Amino acid sequence: MIQLGEVEPPSIYFRIRDKIMYMNKIIILAILVVLVLGGAAAYFKLYPGAVPYEISPSGLIKVTSPRANQTVQSPLVVKGEARGFWFFEASFPVKLFDKDGDLLVMGIAQAKSDWMTEEFVPFEVTLNFVAPLATEKGALVLIKDNPSGLPEHDESFSIPVVLEKASVPERLIDLYYYNPNYDKDESGNIMCSRQGLVKVQRIVPVTQTPIQDAVKLLLKGELTEQERIYGVTTEYPLEGVSLGGASLKDGVLTLQFNDPSNRTGGGSCRVGILWFQIEATVKQFAGVEQARFLPEELFQP
């Protein structure tokens, strides 16, 4: 008889039963884990596209977009993650090549968070390129930044892509904006000279009026986030300022502008830079040796 306050010790039978049930649970759980991992491995082997990224052989960089053999077009946004030591000063080069191995465009991928780490850091870059006249294969190459220049520190990761043909013929043009960091004297004073002009490139459709197209695009003042990070600036767009027409004769390009509120006026430094931007942009075109603006009071201090 069990007295109050006493506990009957469990029988050997119950102890063995509980142990067997526990071991069975462990075995079943282990079998489930093996099946899940094995199934996942087999699935990813049969369907590599199911993996949400492309990863380099070294495992230092993963690209989530674009994927291998994906059809791409301009602008191409490249995203992924890389170990912090893939970067230098929070960036690294990215190149896009055509089927012949010719360089279409090079961009600089920027870290989206602190890169001073050995962990993975997200990155992004947008590439603008002239689309081929026919769909063709290409290659996207992400290059580990190597400031040392030592070959043992070189590494790159190439991803095959398909370049979609252009819906209409395209061309690459240069637009000139301004970076004050390139335009300083020995004392650090801004010189307001052509030395501060910087070239950015844009893809535009081929038309019969390429000069006017370029000027109109310049006047929009549309800079990318990456260009602004590198210090590129502009005062365009100017309210009410637009291009009315253009004519080229004997090397002199005459541009007719509309400026009802005199937005092109101001200090000599400001108006000089506004003038230089347009002048440099139009001089990229064959036959343009000099730029002339109408009305005459435009871009005057």
User: Does 59 have pLDDT greater than 90?
Assistant: yes
Write down the pLDDT at residue 226: 82
Distance CA 245, CA 237 (A): 18
- The mean pLDDT of 253-279, rounded to a whole number, is 96
For the chain, helix, strand, coil in percent to 5 are 25, 35, 40
Task: Give residue 2's pLDDT band: very low, low, confident or very high (50, 70, 90).
Answer: very low
pLDDT number for residue 39: 54
pLDDT at 15 over 70: no
Q: What is the mean pLDDT of the chain?
A: 89
Asked, as a colleague might, if the bond just before 122 is cis with ω within 30 of 0, I would say no
In terms of pLDDT, which residue wins out, 219 or 13? Answer: 219
Identify the band that residue 229 occupies on the pLDDT scale cut at 50, 70 and 90.
Answer: confident
- Given a cut of 90, whether residue 190 has pLDDT beyond it is yes
Q: For residue 51, what pLDDT is reported? A: 73
Q: Which amino acid is at 296?
A: E
Q: What is the pLDDT of residue 133?
A: 87
Decide which of 154 and 19 is more confident.
154
Helices and strands (H and E) in the chain: how many: 4, 14
Q: Does this model's pTM top 0.75?
A: no
What percent of the chain stands above pLDDT 90? 78
Q: What pLDDT, on the 0 to 100 scale, is given for residue 218?
A: 98
Nearest to 204 by CA among 214, 212, 218, 192: 214
Mean pLDDT of the region 235-264: 97
Q: Is residue 41 pLDDT above 90, yes or no?
A: no
Q: Phi/psi at 21 (nearest 5 deg)? A: -65, -40
pLDDT at position 199 over 70: yes
Burial class (CB within 10 angstroms; exposed 0-12, middle 13-18, buried 19+) of 255: buried
CA–CA distance, 29 with 34 (Å, rounded to integer): 9
Cα dihedral 71→75→81→82 (10° resolution): 100
Give the range among 1-15, 142-156, 206-220 with minimum mean pLDDT: 1-15
What are the DSSP calls for 241-298, one per residue? -EEEEEEEETTEEEEEEE-TT-TT-S-HHHHHHHHHHHHHHHTTSTT--EEEEESTTT
* Mean pLDDT of the 102-129 span: 95
Whether the per-residue pLDDT at 158 is higher than 90: the answer is yes
Side-chain half-sphere exposure of 243, counting CA atoms within 13 A:
21
How many beta carbons lie within 10 A of that of residue 257, not counting itself?
Answer: 20
What's the pLDDT score for residue 24? 67
**Identity of residue 116:** M
